[in-house]
Structure 1
Amino acid sequence: MKVQKLYPGLKRYSYFLTKNKWDAEDLMQETFFKAIKYYHSSEISSALLNKIAYHQWIDTVKKRKLEVVNTVEDEGKEDNVRKTDRIIDLVKLLVSNLTPKQAAIFILKEAFSYQSNEIADLLDTTEMAVKSTLHRAKKRLKTDTSLQSIDSFWQEEEREILYNSLYQSLQADDPVVLIDCISTLHLLAEPQQKHSNSPLNMYSMAA
């Protein structure tokens, strides 16, 4: 009977802590449960119930905050996984369909917003050549390029180097790795196939 008389006071205090009736009701139940479990009925008072309710609510708030943090972290991890998958798909697309120079220029321009004159300085070429190469790269990505092989532009070792550089720069959102790679790759220099006037070699010289 004594515990029942304390009910209205605990109800008001629980609502004061939680600011809504659903949490208040849950808090009251938890408080009464702990009071009956750990204390003799003669020890239970309004002050004791309020103390138990206060600490119980603090624990509840902390638990909820932790759940929110964990949820955000999990979503962040999922976002990172999705980002990695998108980057891998993009890099595979570039090295499979573009020449080394086209891939490098495309990423510098489209991913890192470099100006054509800045890219020209990096590649030791002209601004007009950069714009022309970028145009061809976009065209190749939009159309079926299966009849126009680009294997002759690539050496396997350098393909791997550029692939890794593109991936690392995109993953870190920092072009430094790619820029450092440009200075070391011979494939990004002026094309070597200059002895034939065939359509493919003319394309090579423009790549």
Structure 2
Amino acid sequence: MRKLTGFEAKIAPYTAELRVYCLRLARNHWDAEDLYQEVMMRVFQYYRNSGDIRQARPLLYRVARNLRIDQYRRSRMQSNCVSLEERSDPGACLADACPEYVAVRSLVEWTAEHLTKREMCMLFLFAVFRYTYREIAEELGCTLSAVRMVLHRSKLVLRSSANTGGSAIKTDVRGKVVDFWTKALLHQTPSSRQNVSI
């Protein structure tokens, strides 16, 4: 039995499940195999440039998902059935390529209907990314009491809207903020204070 190279040793435990994941994304064996090969090439290039892969599994999955989304966008752009709005919106029609996209986007849009940018930021940092009150205050340059007050109010507003089916209130949240938080939640990457000023 031959000895595995450094790259092979890093990815070998995940290749079988990566093939299954590629098949789930591509929905047919031919495209899945092409996607798998492309992922391997991209990850190998990354390994060659960086010299190491610290977390192979998340990297393989992220590259596969991003490549599939890119392929889907290209195919949609080449077809004549895409509206001008979809062509200009980088987040449009990703449901087939990334099934969780629709659920996450819907959650962010619903939250954006009821909260301001600052409230959304604090709530997502606290509830999703598990920041402490102190970390949120430092990140956003405000006091601990302001964080407590905003989070308390935000939870009350969302709870009330969910329970009563209340109508949305006017907020200062725009599409860029919704796009920002959708990507942040999908990629599990917390943001910085820049998101408040988007």
Q: TM-score scaled to structure 2, two decimals? A: 0.48
* Larger Rg, first or second structure (1 or 2): 1
TM-score by length of 1: 0.46
Structure holding more helix per residue: 1
